[in-house]
Amino acid sequence: MNQLNLDIATRVIDSALQKGRELELAPLCVVVLDAGGHLIAAKREDGASLLRPEIATGKAYGCLAMGFGGRELARRAQTSAPFLTALSGLTGGKVVPVPGGVLVRSSDGHLLGAVGVSGDASPKDEVCAVAGIAAVDLVADTGDAA
């Protein structure tokens, strides 16, 4: 596979949301971006607060902007705050450097896009993103070593 498509993105989102319901998480928003950082599909569950789409998008976009998963972005936000400030400036504030942004790769490592999840605590959001990606037999890159 060379790129995500709407059918796959929809299955990623529905599987991520199903995982959130299994874990009884707070209402979630799940967004899938293509490798160019552009929206393919998004869903916000009833009761999720109003900025969740922007937060989920910012998690996914930040991963694509830098080429690594949200955990690595979160580490750099801690160790290199000025760089993250610059990244915010460059992108008009679109980057959210916390877990829950996950790169989507093919089995041979090709970058296909990213998933962003927001609504509960960031590590729980990330569990749902990873579950959504696994459901379509693609590889989740959270920014931590596998």
> What stretch of H or E contains 13?
helix 6-22
| Structural tokens at position 27 | 């209402």
Distance in Å, CB of 137 to a second copy, minimum:
19
Q: Site map for a second copy, 17-36, x if CB under 8 A?
A: ---------x--x----xxx
Side-chain-facing half-sphere of 125: CA atoms under 13 Å? 28
Helices (H), 52-93: 52-66, 70-79, 81-90
Smallest distance from a second copy to CB 11, Å: 12
Binding mask 53-92 for a second copy (x = CB under 8 A): xxx--x-----xxxx------x--xx-xxxxxxxxxxxxx
93: left (phi over 0), alpha (psi -120 to 50) or beta: left
Rule CB under 8 A: say whether 44 interacts with a second copy.
Answer: yes
Residues that bind a second copy (CB under 8 A): 2, 5-6, 10, 26, 29, 34-46, 48-55, 58, 64-67, 74, 77-78, 80-98
